Structure 1
Amino acid sequence: MFILSAQRLSGTQVFRRLAEGCTGYSVSSGCRQRRRCCPGAPQRPRRVRVNALQLQSGLADPLDPKSEAEVREHLRSNSPAERALGINYARYLDESTRYDILLEMMEDTDPQVRYAAVTQLATVGSHDRQRTLKAVRKILWNTEEDASVRAGAADVLGGLRFHEAFPDLEKLFHESKDWVVRFSIIAALGEMGVREAFPILVEALHANKEPLVQLAAIGALGELGDERARVYLEPLVNSSDASIVERARFALDALDARGSERT
């Protein structure tokens, strides 16, 4: 499993690690037992093939750049893993071509491939922000879509700071029953930096039946930089849960850093 250090990872980075196959979550670098810091945390659905996700995320980088023709040959393959590999190779193409390829592959028949495409969209989505927003919203509100793909779409909105999509994330957070979608929304709201998100983050802070969502909320409150968060975060440093203590300290440090920037 991944051990995710609160000192090094933001909320959305935590989600990306989870999406790449993490079966448990710990913000305590000393925790070595599987899922020790969040007992009862749900497992991530296993129908996504980790090898292909590692390829698309850059964990296993292709050896040599390929031409557009070679990339498209991969994308035409009958194998989802080959198509995901093609998406990874597309990183070496020019931004406009890569952008078009990612939007095209977000319509693929396989959720593994759609996930690979949507998560990479965060790096080039500013090429055409309105087109990106339309494509991501389509995924976000497709109730038939795989939860990991919808979560990836929420992550894109946070990473590219689509403030105009705040109502979408707010509504979906309250409607979705998928913990991974709710987790990603909370992480995205922290990174997005919309002050209106504060009540949702406080609500998620009390998601005791979803420990990963709760931990994401702690980190997101720190990222948001709203001083009102102190009254909720400071008591958490006395928690009996080491993961909550670590995350709360990190969030308070983030608030302190924001305060120093303002002065």
Structure 2
Amino acid sequence: MENVGVDPAAIQELITSEDVGDRLRGINQLRSLDPQDAFRLIQPLSQDENSRVRYAAVSQIASLGHTNLNQAHDLLRDRLLHDSETDVRAAAADAMAALQVPFALEDLETAYHSTNDWLLQFSIIAALGALGNPAAVGLLTEALKSPQELVKLAAIGSLGELKQPESIEYLRPFVAYPDWQVRHRLAIALGQIGTPEVRPLLEQLATDSAAAVAEAARASLAHLAP
């Protein structure tokens, strides 16, 4: 049910205005409407000529798309693969993950391989953990070889979120990785996987020269089954 005091006609006027600021305000006010109505109204804005408007619309589809998951996926897929702006494409990847679209993995993998923009690759790899599809392990282990540190970091984090034991062998070499932030994320990820096979790796990390790494490893060890 629409909130008291909300004027759908006024919102409609804002989102169809020629003024970019009006359209952005209208997108924000769509949150006050029934999700089905808001989703219907926001769809054309995902194709807006202004990239800020497209970004705002795509970002909000993450919370509205559950009203029609198939249609939301089609909209997000189009922006992920075809938008001219990296931040809009990244927002589409995030929205797919937020909606837990089970058939999004192929699109995310296509987008990852079709770009050299490491920021977009980072967003895709980070989204795969939230997506929750165990089939993403293959792409994530590939991303561990990225020359970009942040992409590696995101891949380790997403592998932890997916909790698949087969990831352990791919993560093992990072116990001795030079960047302590990578080792720190590894300690958390191994704890998330939580199988007995991670114990010796965590025990090694628990003696790490970086205090934050050692502390994270000890915390992960404390939550392992005896």
TM range (shorter): 0.7 to 0.9
Q: Does the CA-based 8 Å contact 1:234-1:252 persist in structure 2?
A: no
Match of 2:92 among 122, 141, 153: 153
Amino acid at match of 2:184: E
Higher helix share: 2
Match of 1:70 among 10, 19, 23: 10
Q: Is 1:244 aligned to residue 174 of structure 2?
A: no
Q: Is 1:199 aligned to residue 110 of structure 2?
A: no
Partner Cα distance (2:131, 2:154) in 1: 14
**What SS does the aligned partner of 1:190 have?**
helix
TM-score with structure 2 length normalisation? Answer: 0.78
The residue number in structure 1 matching 2:167 is 229
Please report how far the alpha carbon of residue 236 of structure 1 lies from its aligned counterpart in structure 2 after TM superposition. 2.8
Partner Cα distance (1:81, 1:250) in 2: 42
What CA RMSD, in Å, does the superposition of the two structures yield over aligned residues?
2.5
Deviation track 1:89-127 (CA, whole Å, cap 9, x = no partner) reads 110111111111221211211010000011111111110
Q: Is 1:169 aligned to residue 105 of structure 2?
A: no
Partner Cα distance (1:190, 1:118) in 2: 20
Q: 1:13-162 to 2 correspondence within 5 Å?
A: 66-142=6-82, 144-162=83-101
Q: Does the CA-based 8 Å contact 1:190-1:221 persist in structure 2?
A: yes
Please report how far the alpha carbon of residue 225 of structure 1 lies from its aligned counterpart in structure 2 after TM superposition. 0.9
Q: Does the CA-based 8 Å contact 1:234-1:248 persist in structure 2?
A: no
Q: Answer with 1 or 2: which has the greater Rg.
A: 2
Greater mean alpha carbon deviation, residues 229-238 or residues 114-123: 229-238
Please report how far the alpha carbon of residue 224 of structure 1 lies from its aligned counterpart in structure 2 after TM superposition. 1.0
Structure 2 vs 1, CA of residues 237 and 71 (structure 1 numbering), >3 Å: closer, same or farther?
farther
Q: Does the CA-based 8 Å contact 1:67-1:93 persist in structure 2?
A: no
Greater mean alpha carbon deviation, residues 157-166 or residues 87-96: 157-166
Percent same amino acid among aligned pairs? 35
Deviation track 1:204-243 (CA, whole Å, cap 9, x = no partner) reads 11212x2221111111000111112223334434433232
Deviation track 1:42-75 (CA, whole Å, cap 9, x = no partner) reads xxxxxxxxxxxxxxxxxxxxxx974212222322
Please report how far the alpha carbon of residue 79 of structure 1 lies from its aligned counterpart in structure 2 after TM superposition. 3.0
Q: Is 1:217 aligned to residue 128 of structure 2?
A: no
The residue number in structure 1 matching 2:202 is none
Q: Does the CA-based 8 Å contact 1:65-1:92 persist in structure 2?
A: no
**What SS does the aligned partner of 1:240 have?**
coil
Please report how far the alpha carbon of residue 164 of structure 1 lies from its aligned counterpart in structure 2 after TM superposition. 1.6
Please report how far the alpha carbon of residue 168 of structure 1 lies from its aligned counterpart in structure 2 after TM superposition. 1.6
Pick 1 or 2: higher relative contact order, CA cutoff 8 A, min separation 6. 1
Provide structure 2 residue ranges, at least 5 long, that are not aligned to the other structure: 199-222
Number of equivalent positions: 196
Amino acid at match of 1:207: S
